Amino acid sequence: MTHTSDSNRPAGSNKAIVLRAAGINCDGETVRALEMAGATAELVHLERVLQEPARLEDCSLLVLPGGFSYGDDIAAGRVFGFEMRQGLSRELAAFVARGGYVLGVCNGFQVLCEAGLLSGALLPNTSLRFVCRQVELDVVNASTAWTSACGVGDRLSIPAKHTTGRYWAPDPVLDELEANNQVVLRYAPGENFNGSARDIAGVCNAAGNVVGLMPHPEHAVDPLTGSVDGLKLFESVVPALA
């Protein structure tokens, strides 16, 4: 599986939309990471996109950042995912089908699963506690647009911070993800602190243009934070937009 071809990629430039809603708190850092990688990023509220869904036609990249959207009411990411499913289902399906790139980080990953754009679900950590720590990740699939600057087996040091980050899916679904090379990132040996099935930290859709992960690459783009490994994900996708 490889990332979407140029012929299917949406028309436009390297413009990215970072989608925010009440409770999202990593939007500014995500915009900065995209701009550091060379993209033109615009911060847009979900309500604006619900009112003007044609905005998705003017960008090639959509990022759902981390946070606690709508206070994680009912369940983490569920309200945000419901709003997307109800108000943007047709437009999102068209955006993905024509090759638009989508990234969901932490709460954004939860939203993508709730909206049905990615398989599986994020459940409470086995510790039932909020955990904030640096984690080591192994790149499993380097053929997605989000990991093309990496190699299979590369080790990335990226922070994670969540209470509901335990990736889960039924065994037949996990087997299918494995067989289709849809597992993008795994927690390195000894690093799976939340109990995720098969050490999965990030997955993609069958086409490879929609990726979700729990750790926060936007918080690992500056040497002052101790790691710039997260920047590789953003540097991977921007050349694909050019």
Averaged pLDDT score across all residues of the chain: 92
Domain residues of the chain, as ranges? 15-241
Question: In this predicted structure, what is the pLDDT of residue 229?
Answer: 98
The CATH class, in words, for 15-241 is alpha beta
Q: CA-CA distance, 31 to 137, in Å (whole number)?
A: 23
Residue 1 has pLDDT above 80, yes or no: no
Q: Band of the pLDDT at 72, cuts 50, 70, 90?
A: confident
Residue 195 has pLDDT above 60, yes or no: yes
pLDDT-wise least confident of 3-17, 31-45, 63-77, 175-189: 3-17
Q: CA-CA distance, 105 to 125, in Å (whole number)?
A: 16
Indicate which residue of 26, 216, 219, 235 is catalytic: 216
pTM: 0.92
Indicate which residue of 29, 59, 83, 106 is catalytic: 106
Question: Would residue 204 show up in a list of annotated catalytic residues for this protein?
Answer: no
Question: In this predicted structure, what is the pLDDT of residue 13?
Answer: 57
Question: Would residue 136 show up in a list of annotated catalytic residues for this protein?
Answer: no
Answer with the residue of higher pLDDT: 34 or 58. 34
pLDDT digits (tens, 9 = 90+) for 111-149: 999 999 999 999 999 999 999 999 999 999 999 999 999
Question: In this predicted structure, what is the pLDDT of residue 242?
Answer: 66
Question: Would residue 216 show up in a list of annotated catalytic residues for this protein?
Answer: yes
- Interior/surface letters 121-160, b for 16+ CB within 10 angstroms, e for the rest: bbbbbeeeeeeeeebbbbbbbbebbbbbbbeeebebbbbb
Question: In this predicted structure, what is the pLDDT of residue 89?
Answer: 87
Question: In this predicted structure, what is the pLDDT of residue 137?
Answer: 98
